[in-house]
Amino acid sequence: MSVQKKIVVATRPSLLAYTQTQQTVDLLQKANPDVEFEIKKFSTKGDRVLNRSLTEFGGTGLFVKELEHAMLEGEADIAVHSLKDVPSFHPEGLKLGSFPQREDVRDVFLSRNAQTIENMPQGFVLGTGSPRRKVQMAALRSDIKFKEIRGNIDSRIQKMIDGEYDAIILAAAGMNRLGKTYDEKLLLDVDQSIPAIGQGAIAIECRADDKQTIQIIEKVNHKPTMQAVLAERAFMAEIEGGCKFPLAAHALVLDNVLTMIAIVGDVKTNEYIVEQIEVGVAESVNKAKELAVKMKAICKDKGINFYL
C-alpha cells in the first residue's frame, strides 16, 4: 500500500517519553497503515534543568512548550504528551485531539527492602517533589521526612538503592510502559494516593486546523478515557492550578456515569479536603467545574491556603 501522508511526531528525548511515543505511534500505525510516521526529539527546559524543583521554575508545562512551538512552526505535526504534564490552558492554534486508552493511574511506593509504607521505620526519608503526594503520604504516616527528588525513573531508583532515600514514589504507568517489575502490594490504592490529574493518560496534540491529521489521530481515541480526563482537566482549569500546590483528581467512566474524587490542600500545613461526585457523562465537565468552585469555598472557610 502506498503512503498517502507523512506525520512528524514530536517527543521529549527521555527514555520514558520516547518509549511511550513509540508505543503510541505503533497504535497509530496499526490504525493508519497508509500513513508514514517519523519521530523527532525536542529537548525541553523541564528535561534540561534537573537540579531544581519543578514548582520553583514554572511547573510541568516546561515539558511541553518546545514541542508545542515545533508544531506551531511546522517542524512537527503532532506531539505525544503525558497528559499530567499538560497545563489546563494551551496555546491558541493547537488542540488535544486524541486520548488513547489509559494506563494504570496508581502510584507505586518503592523502598529498598520492598516494605510497604505501613511497615517502614519511624522517620524514614521519602523522595518526592510532588505536593499532592506529600500531603497524602503525611496523612498515612505523619513521621515521614520528605526530600526533594528529580530525574528519570532509573536515576531515582538508583538514588534510593544508594541510600539517599529510604523510599520513593513513582507512577505505575511509567513503570509499566518501561517494563519495570514491582510487587503489586506496593501499589497505593486511589483512596490512599489520589493520582495527579491526567495520570496514566497520553494526549496527542496537533494543530487545530489540521483536519486530516485530526482524523488520523482520532482513530486511536478511547472515549471513556477522554470523558474522564476532560472532567479532571475542567476541574483543574477552574481551580487554576498545576503542580505548585496539593491538587489531585481521578475520574472513572462506567455505564455512562462518571465518578470523580478530588483533593485540594496546603503543602505548608498538610491540610487538605476531599470531595467526590457521581454524575452522568453528559454533564460531567460542568459538574467538575462546580466541584472546583465548591472546594475553593470550603478551603476559604477552613482557612486552607492552597495558593503558594
- CA 64 → CA 21, 79, 90, 198, distances in Å? 14, 9, 10, 14
Please report, as a single letter, which amino acid is at residue 138.
A
CA dihedral 209, 204, 97, 251 (to 10 degrees): -150
Rounded CA separation 258/278 (Å): 6
85 is catalytic: yes
Q: Which of 85, 107, 166, 210 is catalytic?
A: 85
What count of Cα atoms within 13 Å lies in the side-chain half-sphere of residue 66? Answer: 15
Tell me the β-bridge partners of 62: none
Please report, as a single letter, which amino acid is at residue 303.
G
Q: Are 219 and 102 in contact (CB under 8 A)?
A: no
CA dihedral 28, 29, 34, 40 (to 10 degrees): 90
Spell out the residues 6+ positions from residue 137 whose beta carbon is closer than 8 angstroms to its own: 117, 126, 128, 144, 146, 169, 193
User: Which residues are catalytically annotated?
Assistant: 85
